[in-house]
Structure formats: C-alpha cells, structure tokens
Amino acid sequence: MHLPMHLSVPTLLFLSSASASAIPSTLTKPSRPLPLIIWHGLGDNYAADGLVSVGELANETNPGTYVYNIRLDEDPGSDRTATFFGNLTEQLAQVCDTLAVHPVLSLAPAVNALGFSQGGQFLRGYVERCNNPPVRNLVTFGSQHNGIAEFQACAPTDWLCKGAMALLRVNTWSNYVQSRLVPAQYYRSCNTSTGEPTPEYLENSNFLADINNERVLKNTKYAANIASLNKFVMYLFKDDTTVIPKESGWFAQVTNLTSGIVTPLRNRAIYKEDWLGLKKLDEKGGLVFRETKGGHMQLSDELLVKVFKDFFSPVGGKGKEAEEIVMQDSDSSGEL
C-alpha cells in the first residue's frame, strides 16, 4: 500500500473551547482519542487517495479520531511540489504556526503524530522546534532520521523528481541547493572510513545537522522536547531500497555502504551524550524499534491497525515495555 495524504474532517470536533479549559495539563486516561496529525512523504500530497484510506482506518480503529494531514499549500499539486522544492526551516516554521492556531488542534491537550518517510523526520523536527500542541506518541515509517547517503531514483515520467535530483547532484552544499531542494537538506555526507559526518555537512546542512544536534553548540530545547514524548516508535522496512541506508530509520550509522557495517544508535555519541533526549526517553521505556517486511512504504492495513491500537488509542502505549528489534546478520550486529 503506497502512502500519500488527506482525510475528510470528522463532523464531531475533538474539543470545544469551553471543555478545553477544564482539561488538566497532565493527560491521564483520556476519554476519547487524541487528534492525529500526519505528514506525508516525498512526491505525495495531503489530498492523495492513500491517505484518505489511512485516516478512515484510524477512525475505524479508534472512533472519534480527528485527523489532520499536514500540508504546505491547500492546492494538492503545489503541496506535492513543496516536497521537492523549498526551505525546510521555513516550511517547518509554517507548520508550527498553522498547528498552533488550528481551531481544533490548538485546543487539544496533546496530539499523536504519524510520519511517512521524510514526513517522519519533519514531525520530529516539529517536536524539537515548537511542539505546540505537544505530541504524545510519535510513530515514523521508513524515515531518514540519520539522513541519506544517496538520492533516490525517480520514476521514468516524474519530471518534477528528475529536475530536483539533477539539481541536488550539482552542488549539494551550496546555499542555493540547501535553501531550495528538500532532499538535500537531509543528505548526510560521511567519512567512508569512520562513518562520522564531514565538515561540509556540519557547516552547510540547512536542516538535518541542526535537528540532530550534531554541531558543537547543542540546543537543549531539542533534547527536552524529545524526552517529553510518551513513545517514539521507529519502523524500519526490511527490504527498503529507497532510503539508503535503510538503517537511518533507526538512527543507526552505516560506516561503509559497501561492507554494510552498522553502528547502532545506542553505541553512538548522539545517544551516549544524549544530544536529543533519546537516552532519557529510552530509560523511561519510550523508545521503540520495530521492523516490518517489504520495501519502502509497503504497508498493510493490519499493520496500521496494530499501530493505531498500540499507540493512538486513548490508553495506547501506557504500561507497555519498550520493544526492540535486534538485527542479526553477517554485516551488522547489536541493537539498532
């Protein structure tokens, strides 16, 4: 099932302004599902048919769920264009401003969040930079949390994609590309011997180096906001050939793409020194690693229903131990 974006708005609003004032700041056992915000991936748009089905499934699983599909333009075609072209810092600021004053979302005590592909790390950026309304549970599918080492291939007739990828390969670290081409802003160039980021990336990355707190000066707000989550669930696609390396979906670092040597998240400085609050979240049982079979964004209704039940139901995620997936093969070891 390919995932793209929009949902008809339920007629019953989540909260009225009168009832919102009576809700305590600390959410305990809500009587109805929290609103669900969804951010789609590269080449999709908020009104695409696939996401209509996702929203309907969310409501069937947890009746009364208010679903909002993040968009950068009300015109679906322009929203799709914005997945390739735009400044991510400005796009994220726009989303933060929109959600903060949304007539339904702004009244909710919290929201749940579901991110598909690049929409996953954008939602994480939302949590880090603004988080208003605050996210309770964040679930990402095939997201490039540790960046990409290669740009994706385009469909033969997708000229918008082809044009973007052609520009990306000209000069990835130029100000022009970093302020205009979306995938370039989560590209991460590394030393092929160590897997550590290159100086060009740390100096010029417009988005990923910042939201991953990889620069010398750390933003403590980012770590505090991630640690405030109840659950951060990262799904990796076992046969993903679109996100390279696929282990980026678990914040793992691949030292060498040829050998496939992987440094799991818990063995990296980003975790040990807790640049993002992931260690603190993990210690309270909130960091969840899951793997699903299939290629990039190949999802079944059964899997989505399980996610909705486990993490987006009124009591989803409460009292559960963090789950882990341990990938064992000849080229990787340890927990990702």
DSSP states along 139-168:
EEES--TT-BSSPPP--TT-HHHHHHHHHH
- Active site annotation includes 296: yes
Residue 211 included in any domain? no
Structural domain count, the chain? 1
Name the active-site residue from 79, 296, 310, 332.
296
- Active site annotation includes 17: no
- Active site annotation includes 2: no
Section 62-89 average pLDDT: 97
Q: Is 121 helix (H, G, I), strand (E, B) or coil?
A: helix
Q: Is 157 exposed, middle or buried (0-12, 13-18, 19+ CB in 10 A)?
A: exposed
Output the DSSP codes for 25-66. SS--S-SSPPPEEEE--TT--TT-HHHHHHHHHHHHHSTT--
Name the active-site residue from 79, 210, 240, 274.
240
Range with the lowest mean pLDDT among 28-32, 148-152, 227-231, 288-292?
Answer: 28-32
Section 89-99 average pLDDT: 98
| Distance of alpha carbon 19 from alpha carbon 115, whole angstroms | 29
Residue 276 included in any domain? yes
What pLDDT was estimated at residue 208? 97
Q: Are 2 and 50 in contact (CB under 8 A)?
A: yes
Alpha-carbon radius of gyration of the chain: 19
Q: If pLDDT is split at 50, 70 and 90, which confidence band does 194 have?
A: confident
Residue 160 included in any domain? no
Mean of all residue pLDDT scores within the chain: 84
Residue 172 included in any domain? no
| Distance of alpha carbon 82 from alpha carbon 271, whole angstroms | 32
CATH number for 106: 3.40.50.1820
Q: If pLDDT is split at 50, 70 and 90, which confidence band does 72 have?
A: very high
Residue 9 included in any domain? no
| Distance of alpha carbon 121 from alpha carbon 93, whole angstroms | 14
What pLDDT was estimated at residue 162? 75
pLDDT at 26 over 60: no
Task: Choose among 125, 147, 82, 94: nearest CA to 222.
Answer: 125
Range with the lowest mean pLDDT among 145-149, 220-224, 312-316?
Answer: 312-316
Find tokens 């264009």 and name the residue: 81
Domain that holds residue 46: 17-146+217-311
pLDDT at 256 over 50: yes
pLDDT at 127 over 80: yes
Residue 128 included in any domain? yes
What pLDDT was estimated at residue 169? 66
Stated pTM of the model: 0.83
What is the DSSP pairing of strand 253-256 with strand 261-263? antiparallel
| Distance of alpha carbon 177 from alpha carbon 157, whole angstroms | 23
What is the DSSP pairing of strand 111-116 with strand 67-69? unpaired
Section 236-242 average pLDDT: 92
pLDDT at 145 over 70: yes
pLDDT at 264 over 80: yes
Residue 274 included in any domain? yes
Residue-wise pLDDT for 173-183, tens only, equals 999 999 999 99
